[in-house]
Amino acid sequence: MLIATWNVNSIRTRLNQVLDWLDEVNPDLLCIQETKVDDPFFPAASFEDKGYQVRYYGQKSYNGVAMISRYPLKDVRCGLLGELPNDLDAKLLEDQKRVISALVNDIRVVNLYVPNGSSIASDKYQYKIQWLSCLSRYLNSQKLRDEPLCVLGDFNIAMEDRDMHSPERLRGGIMASELEQEKLRSVLQDRLHDVFRLFEGDTNHWSWWDYRSGAWDRDKGWRIDHIYLSSELLDQSVSCVIDKKMRGKTKPSDHAPVLVDINWPPQEEYEDDSFYLHH
């Protein structure tokens, strides 16, 4: 099963690029962020015409998430449901459309657009921190606890020095502060694992390059788009790659897609060496 995440930075602006990419890669599930479109205007038919199911949770101008799937999208949930911390009211939380989740091929997939936070001194940073607390409670809620779990999206957080281009300069700033990293670790606990790091230990693998400052041309990027898997899915993972070439297209999103291939449901052949010898 091939699962992808991609912050497309406006689905209407990026529509043809996304459709071409689906034809090329043929993922079973594509989770997108920053759709920037109200639900009535989401270009669903373009995906349905290709045989995909689509569910979306969006708003105009900002935020917005969607799931595009070859499998039925079951038990779809929008927003951060469940128990909320005392210091953040539900309306503030649900004003920003950042979460959509579904049961896909018996995997609970949670598609996230984590707040950027702007800068450490900003009120938006406080919102980001509180939002991550809400996410912890959401993922700990009983209903999501017993299913194979895939939490993916644009996290707007680099977890380690090797996930940013100039750690000595960027460490401690927005997307790289101790508190953000600690909050995300607390979301993940021992249950969720960054599948990209199962296959690649080196730095210089980025998923986001700022439009500004010639970041792409100078390869000054960050790895802030992540795919986290529970252990039964991690054990069956075959590969995880960043499709960097999409950032080099004309009029690109500032993010590249990230893909994971999982042997799911598990099949013996994948683990049997003789399978490869004879095929």
Partner DNA sequence: ATGTCGAAATCGTTTCGA
- Binding residues for DNA, rule: CB under 7 A, are 9-10, 12-13, 36-37, 60-62, 115-116, 118-119, 124, 156, 211-214, 251
Interacting residues of 99 by C-beta distance below 8 A, sequence separation 6+: 57, 65, 77, 78, 79, 80, 110, 111, 112, 113, 135, 138
Write down the least CB distance from residue 174 to DNA, Å: 9
Closest distance to DNA from the beta carbon of 279 (Å) = 42
CB of 242 to DNA, least distance (A): 18
What are residue 255's DSSP bridge partners? 208
* Sheet of 65-69, strand order: 53-57, 65-69, 29-33, 2-7, 258-262, 237-242
Find the radius of gyration of the CA atoms of the chain. 18
For DNA, the closer of residues 115 and 148 by Cβ is 115
To DNA, the closest distance from the beta carbon of 33 in angstroms equals: 10
With beta carbons less than 8 A apart as the criterion, state whether 22 and 4 touch. Answer: no
Nearer to DNA, 111 or 236 (CB): 111
Closest to DNA by CB, 157 or 195: 157
- Whose Cβ is closer to DNA: residue 123's or residue 202's? 123
Q: Give the shortest CB-64-to-DNA separation in angstroms.
A: 10
Nearer to DNA, 35 or 105 (CB): 35
Bridge-based pairing of strands 225-229 and 74-78 is: unpaired
User: Which of 100, 104, 34, 38 lies closest to 64, judged by CA?
Assistant: 34
Minimum distance of DNA from residue 59's CB (angstroms): 9
CB 163 within 8 A of CB 224: yes
Q: How far is the CB of 220 from DNA (least distance, A)?
A: 10
18 or 229: whose CB is closer to DNA? Answer: 18
> Measured from the CB atom, is 40 or 201 closer to DNA?
40
Name which of 118, 179, 180, 184 is nearest 151 in CA terms.
Answer: 184
Q: At CA 241, angle to CA 234 and CA 57, rounded to 5?
A: 80
